[in-house]
Structure 1
């Protein structure tokens, strides 16, 4: 926008060009077919605003490099990011059809220039960096999007790639109109390109050691998946990219799927959260979180989620053929009523697609290896619920040791387990102690999060996995105490 003087006040129609008799050297015709006058004739307002924003950002980044105090660094980093967002939004609001200042001629010109520059960069790189040109390998542009290109130079080490990257950036920048320039940013090695806007790799700015594992568009950074997917994908990428252990990643996936199907995965890892952007009647199709919000409103309107809130839910087992929106349920309600989760739904609808996207470029038959086999055998665990036919069932005491029925209410063990009294009592006490310790750690973590170790935890954040773990352990502690109280000592 700065280089080609794109602005509301510099946009002219073909008729205006003829009427004003503007010479060709005074106008820019964009690849999308729009016409703007050059800055030599009239400088646009938007380019001036952008110039000021980018200058301020450059100052903030320079101050950030000099800063030593962590708080000052955080403030300066926030400032430069805010200025970056502000500069980007200047283009954004011109392309927004619903807004105060839409101008599709400007936004389409920006995108067409960007596309032209990517094609120009690709041609120059692949023409210059060749074996015939004296380089080690023929360079290939493997990805280009918006304002960046990724080049595979074919060199054996990171240092060589950095050197060629800087050389290419300097060479191509010389062909662009100022202030446009191509900057060398980073090296990805190894690099996993899954699809457009979806990739992962180790991020290098120093040839000695990588900075971090960088991901884009993958489930490690997406909010609309349960935490199990995020943890699973993150661990797989860590094993593939950092450890270079593909068999280890495959085995980790198989173990996780096995644990899921055997109901060994904590409920907090299975919670899905989605935003409630409008009321249920305004949605064209039925959605799981919307239908749950309506059911919660009927149960208790005071605690039900409202428009603008994020609705957490899990998918529970139901009659065969039931839709997902009919099986969504509040995680707290599930914990309180011992409702079984549907692990098959999570395998088919949450886990399988992200895993296949990562492993298909690596394994010959990813679907067969990951999603079929002995590890996908599921087991059915009967969980007593508080609803349905269980409302009419009468609870009876059972032996703490072998679970056999006991007729007397003051008995703890059956006649067969009387000889194991000391062992079973120690086991019960040990279980209570372990659960109390776990609950204490979770409670302290919540206190630290809210900023006080001397007040009750008032947090009800449904987006936090610790919240559900704390609720579950609290329930388990109460049940363990009931078992302990049955010992008549």
Structure 2
């Protein structure tokens, strides 16, 4: 729109999901801006959100990178150097478009915008509450109702979901998992929980007891035959959209598009669940603790009832081979050991149990059989791993929850080690091989045979330094990097990569964090003991403890494999051979004094002219060699350079 003024303004995006991030926002009237970075930040948990890292993760492609220091030289060079610069710019523009197409982000967000009734920009820059408010206003308008404006106030806490105490251990038998489909939304629909159906105790006393429901938390709501609530209407629309997405998912054959469609139905599920969260948000647009307390109270009763029904029905007394046992339950699912030996038997009993128990609850509440874990390693509440079976012939994948294989606040060494150990325990069924592998990696770490890239920890800079209660390693490093070079220092919302370097005993970790490139350039030794004590030991003990019990620590963290550090003569790794700290004479390689201004020593200074000419010839030779290698590299990966 020609006459509208465009301005650049600074905006802070802040939410529990995304943390705090500083953005520059430009209004372009007549155009919809769709920031793919915000989509990736919201939808995917990655270790790095640079274009290079994201493109490699999803597309298997990377930028044809040009360091910022040589851009001017390339532009001022010849047509070949400018061609390289043009390819770099084109690839930077093309990769986001390829990502947009591959992830189907625009389609997914349009679907979400249509369902929730908010513009695309709201989905990217605002939280879940605005979506629920929009749907409430839309439904209220149809029924001639007015939504009140409520001033946000700090409310009282309320009891959350029930978590059945886990019976920890390693299970070499199939464990069936029964899940309530969309538990909280289905509770709200089944019992007609809404602002418009809420009654006071006095109003309930004056009504027919058949006309209302008293919830386990002591609140009263009228039934659907008296007046249907707005929230159940909204939830029906969201869940029907999810049902369509799941139907498309079943028809789809392309593996990646299946993942994307799965992401769409998950997004609609999150929106449906956020309706419950909206009512319980203490500082929200329209909090109503009577609704949120009732939902969680019904959920707790249902999980407890499911556990009792399973354990009382599937018993030896009722004709089954063994007494069943619920070994763990969390929010909307229970994990059952039916005492059978095959996945097929566990699936059969799981489906049967789900159908029987669903009949005990009001519609649309439905208990479903979803999967079998076999074998299954139950570490603690919300921490477990197992082979995931949806068909008896072959397992689908190794599924991990709350374990370091899926967490980003540990170095890659930990994720790779834990993943390898779990593979040996669960897939190969060989715990001894897992122990030997762990010992080997610990020995390599202490002997400094681990590449520095596997020791990089990344943490998000979610707040400015004065907002943290205590000093944080990544925050202190960001401050130091800003003093060295403000232009390349991490900014609010970035993930800060760092390693822990060796220092005097007792030095706190936040003073030992350092930029990996700075460590390489300056040959700074790594604190390998810190990685063993603070990164590796706890995750390893957690996964091996259910198997070895009290002997775990002595087996893994004591012994000859941890004594190898005493024979070390150097704490620097293999990559340090490519770095050089002390300057030497360009001809005779004699060490030069600190802060020496010339490239040759005083003895070789007389030959500077011939040395310079030789170095220029070498430079030309290497530039030509580099250009050929670079061209071949781009040709192999299907570069734009070849197309041009």
Q: What TM-score, normalized by structure 2, do the two folds share?
A: 0.60
- Using the TM superposition, give the Cα deviation of residue 454 of structure 1 relative to its aligned residue in structure 2, in angstroms: 3.6
**Alpha carbons 2:324, 2:337 under 8 Å: kept:** yes
1:209 maps to what in 2? Answer: 394
Q: Does 1:372 align with 2:558?
A: yes
Runs of 5+ unmatched residues, structure 2: 1-187, 591-600, 605-624
User: Quick one: distance in 2 between partners of 1:321 and 1:375?
Assistant: 25
Q: Does 1:4 align with 2:215?
A: no
- Using the TM superposition, give the Cα deviation of residue 392 of structure 1 relative to its aligned residue in structure 2, in angstroms: 9.3
1:459 maps to what in 2? Answer: none
- Using the TM superposition, give the Cα deviation of residue 158 of structure 1 relative to its aligned residue in structure 2, in angstroms: 0.7
Change (3 A) 1:376 1:446: farther
- Using the TM superposition, give the Cα deviation of residue 408 of structure 1 relative to its aligned residue in structure 2, in angstroms: 13
SS state at 2:532 partner: helix
User: Quick one: distance in 2 between partners of 1:72 and 1:201?
Assistant: 26
User: Quick one: distance in 1 between partners of 2:377 and 2:256?
Assistant: 35
2:290 maps to what in 1? Answer: 105
- Using the TM superposition, give the Cα deviation of residue 79 of structure 1 relative to its aligned residue in structure 2, in angstroms: 2.5
* 1:51-450 to 2 correspondences below 5 Å: 51-69=236-254, 73-364=258-549, 365-377=551-563, 378-379=565-566, 380-382=568-570
2:203 maps to what in 1? Answer: 16
How many corresponding residue pairs? 412
User: Quick one: distance in 2 between partners of 1:409 and 1:368?
Assistant: 60
- Using the TM superposition, give the Cα deviation of residue 74 of structure 1 relative to its aligned residue in structure 2, in angstroms: 5.0
User: Quick one: distance in 2 between partners of 1:213 and 1:445?
Assistant: 36
Deviations 1:115-153 (A, max 9, x none): 110100011111110001000100001111010000000
- Using the TM superposition, give the Cα deviation of residue 171 of structure 1 relative to its aligned residue in structure 2, in angstroms: 0.6
User: Quick one: distance in 2 between partners of 1:247 and 1:453?
Assistant: 50
User: Quick one: distance in 2 between partners of 1:340 and 1:80?
Assistant: 48
Cα RMSD for the two superposed structures? 2.9
- Using the TM superposition, give the Cα deviation of residue 94 of structure 1 relative to its aligned residue in structure 2, in angstroms: 2.0
SS state at 2:542 partner: helix
- Using the TM superposition, give the Cα deviation of residue 333 of structure 1 relative to its aligned residue in structure 2, in angstroms: 0.8
1:426 maps to what in 2? Answer: none
**Alpha carbons 1:94, 1:103 under 8 Å: kept:** yes
Change (3 A) 1:86 1:253: same
User: Quick one: distance in 2 between partners of 1:453 and 1:321?
Assistant: 53
2:86 maps to what in 1? Answer: none
**Alpha carbons 1:275, 1:308 under 8 Å: kept:** yes
**Alpha carbons 2:376, 2:385 under 8 Å: kept:** yes
Runs of 5+ unmatched residues, structure 1: 399-406, 411-435, 456-489
- Using the TM superposition, give the Cα deviation of residue 13 of structure 1 relative to its aligned residue in structure 2, in angstroms: 2.1
Deviations 1:91-110 (A, max 9, x none): 12222223323222222221
- Using the TM superposition, give the Cα deviation of residue 214 of structure 1 relative to its aligned residue in structure 2, in angstroms: 0.6
